[in-house]
Amino acid sequence: MHHRPPGLLVTSLRAAVARSSERLSRRRGDLLALALAVAVLASTALAGQPAGSTPSTVAVVEAAASQPLPAGDAQHPAAGAGTSSTSAADAGQSRAGRDPGNRHRGDHQRAAPQPDAAPTANPNCTLIVPPDPTGAAGLATPYQLVATDRAAGPCHEAAADQSAFVEAAVFDPATHGLSIYHPLVVDRNDRPAVAPVPVSLPAGATVGIWFGFNGDTLTLAGPGAASCVNGLPGSPFGQFAYCNAAALFSAASADATFQASIPQLGTSPKDHLPCPTSRDFSVVDQDQSDNLATVYRVVDGRMAQLTAATADRGTALTNGSDEGLVARFIAPALGCQPFTAPDLTDGGVPTPALALNELFATARQTDPALVPTSDPMVQVDGAPSDRKTNLYRAGVGQPPLPTGQTPQAYCAGILGQGSARLTTDAAFLRAAASPTPDFPNLLAFLKDRLAKTLQQLDCQAGAGR
């Protein structure tokens, strides 16, 4: 995921504090980025020689969600305003189109608010989960987005910094196969631009659902939320949640025929190294295995699933995602192929997905990086929590602690393997498109992402919190 910087402005007082501290924070980040750049350049030269903030807590989410929204929440943003995707889906998702101009930082945090800039959008939203979310009717029922605290401003699905995303995986025991479906999200009490594609589930199917978010903290509410995992009570993960994920991973992992169908890892034809997965130290960041590869379309200010009928309508809306980054950008840049499955939303077109990435990594990744206790999404009030870490890991098919790395070992893996491959692949990544318009190419994007990861995890000088 891409954890937003702590303390985003939700009141005028916090806005003043953030503006005052912004210059200092930016200097620290610039110094770290400079140090990393020097290290990468040095290693490149040598290669030629022989050799979080505490999440907000909602007092009564269900009660608030059931109340009528103020007029502001019932309105649409102007069609096209704040809805254009970054180039993230556009370069790797042929049906998404190319929609320039969005300032959302895709796989990263939002751009830091500037002095005298317009107020930051409310970063904390609630998603109303329909009844029986893993059933056929629940999958085709739009989720509804609403502000967690309406006093902090409205939430709009078409606003890129507030968008929530949903992705489902369906395991069919009869065919021993997986398929993907992308449930739609709309504003509270709104209707979609195009009715969701109906889905028919095979007998005995196991369905898992995952959520991604472009803001800070997404809270689940509504009739179907009780069957989902949002974090610990009073301490949500932030941008991530899931429903029935453990059952989906268990069913797929226990099926020998399906396991045999998972493609081999393969070798990059460009750098002749193993193709990366979502658990490779060259891919992970401070909060690995989060968010989704889902793409929506914004059509005249309303939401639609990405299908053949909507591909050329409106603009694309994407989720800043580790899962999308490796499948749509890093793998193609290295000549590798992601694990895909038929998209039930889009007529069976092959699509990557979180569940596919994680199943692929489980089966094929050697020495995988696993979610550490230093991940901001699995901490409670800034402190490590084994319970929350294990809860998150269960949602992405990872084994519980103590399997995996200590925070220090996790930092060492990123500093060693991650930095080394970035240097090795510099020419290939420089020739590939960036997921966001903020960077000229994928290499620049990944360098910035690595610098911010080392800062967030306190990995300087081999440390790690």
| 130-159 per-position pLDDT tens digit | 999 999 999 999 999 999 999 999 999 999
Contact 42, 421 (CB under 8 A): no
* pLDDT 10s digits, 407-433: 999 999 999 999 999 999 999 999 999
Domain membership of residue 30 (yes or no) is yes
Q: Answer yes or no: are the C-beta atoms of 339 and 359 closer than 8 Å.
A: yes
Residue 176 Cα to chain centre, angstroms: 27
Residue 196 to residues 135, 213, 296, 304, 306, Cα–Cα distance (Å) = 14, 20, 11, 7, 10
> Per the domain annotation, does 131 fall within a domain?
yes
Give just the sign of the alpha carbon dihedral 356, 358, 363, 365. Answer: positive
* Residue 462 predicted with pLDDT over 90: no
According to the model, what pLDDT value does residue 465 have? 59
Q: What is the C-alpha to C-alpha distance for residues 90 and 274, in angstroms, rounded to an integer?
A: 26
- Region 390-417: what's the mean pLDDT? 97
**DSSP letter string over 259-327?**
HHHSPP--B-TTT-SBPP-TTSTTT--TT-S-S---EEEEETTEEEE--TTTTTSSEEEE---HHHHII
What average pLDDT does this structure show over 244-272?
97
Q: Is residue 413 part of a domain?
A: yes
Alpha carbon 465 to its chain centroid, in Å, reads 23
Q: What is the mean pLDDT of residues 427-443?
A: 96
What's the structural domain count of the chain?
1
Please report whether residue 403 resides in a domain. yes
Q: What H or E segment, with its residue span, contains residue 367?
A: none
State the pLDDT at residue 160.
Answer: 94
For residues 64-77, give the mean pLDDT: 36
Is the pLDDT at 69 greater than 70? The verdict is no
Range list of β-strands (E), 329-442? 341-343, 349-351
Indicate the burial class of 348 (C-beta count within 10 angstroms; 0-12, 13-18, 19 or more). Answer: exposed
**pLDDT given for residue 120 in this prediction:** 83
Q: Name the band, by pLDDT with cuts 50, 70 and 90, for residue 460.
A: confident
Asked whether the predicted pLDDT for residue 202 surpasses 70, the reply is yes
* Structural domain span for residue 421: 12-462
CA distance 99 to 103: 11
Instruction: Tell me which amino acid residue 420 is.
Output: A
Phi/psi region, residue 223 (left: phi>0; alpha: psi -120 to 50; beta: rest), is alpha
pLDDT at 321: 87
Residue 4, domain member (yes or no): no
For residue 77, pLDDT over 80 is answered with: no
- The span from the first CA to the last CA of the chain, in angstroms, equals 19
pLDDT in tens, 260-278: 999 999 999 999 999 999 9
Tell me how far apart the alpha carbons of residues 417 and 367 are, in angstroms, rounded to a whole number: 11
Which has more pLDDT, 443 or 46? Answer: 443
Least reliable range by pLDDT among 79-88, 316-325, 381-390: 79-88
Residues 104 and 219 sit within 8 Å (Cβ to Cβ): no
Residue 128 has pLDDT above 70, yes or no: yes
- C-alpha distances (whole Å) from 374 to each of 185, 285, 411 are 31, 11, 10
Number of neighbouring beta carbons within 10 Å of residue 382? 11
Mean pLDDT across 240-267: 98
**Residues near 151 by beta carbon (within 8 Å), at least 6 away in sequence:** none
Q: Could you tell me which of 86, 14, 25 has the C-alpha nearest to residue 452?
A: 25
Residue-wise pLDDT for 81-102, tens only, equals 333 333 333 333 334 333 323 3
Please tell me the distance from the alpha carbon of residue 219 to that of residue 196, in angstroms, as a whole number. Answer: 23
- Token pair 């399906």 is at which residue? 258
Please give the distance of CA 144 from its chain centroid, rounded to a whole number: 19
- Specify the pLDDT at position 31: 42
Detail the DSSP E strand segments found in 117-258: 124-128, 143-147, 164-172, 177-181, 185-187, 206-213, 217-221, 228-229, 231-232, 235-236, 241-243
Q: Which of 363, 333, 195, 183 is nearest to 268 (CA)?
A: 333
2 in a domain, yes or no? Answer: no
CA separation for the pair 13, 19 (Å, rounded): 10
C-alpha 434 chain-centroid distance: 16
Q: What is the residue whose two structure tokens read 């903020």?
A: 438
The pLDDT score that the predictor gives to residue 43 is 42
pLDDT tier for residue 12 given thresholds of 50, 70 and 90: very low
Residue 407 in domain: yes
- Could you tell me the two tokens for 465? 């919190």
In contact, 9 and 58? CB cutoff 8 Å: no
Asked, for residue 6, whether it belongs to a domain, the answer is no
Phi, psi angles (nearest 5°) of residue 307: -140, 175
The answer, yes or no, to whether residue 110 has pLDDT greater than 60, is: no
Give the pLDDT band (50/70/90) at residue 118. Answer: low
> Are 377 and 237 within 8 A, CB to CB?
yes
Residue 175's pLDDT is what?
98
Contact residues for 31 (Cβ-Cβ < 8 A; gap 6+): none
Q: Residue 179: pLDDT above 60?
A: yes
Contacts of 398 (CB under 8 A, 6+ apart): 289, 358, 362, 370, 371, 404
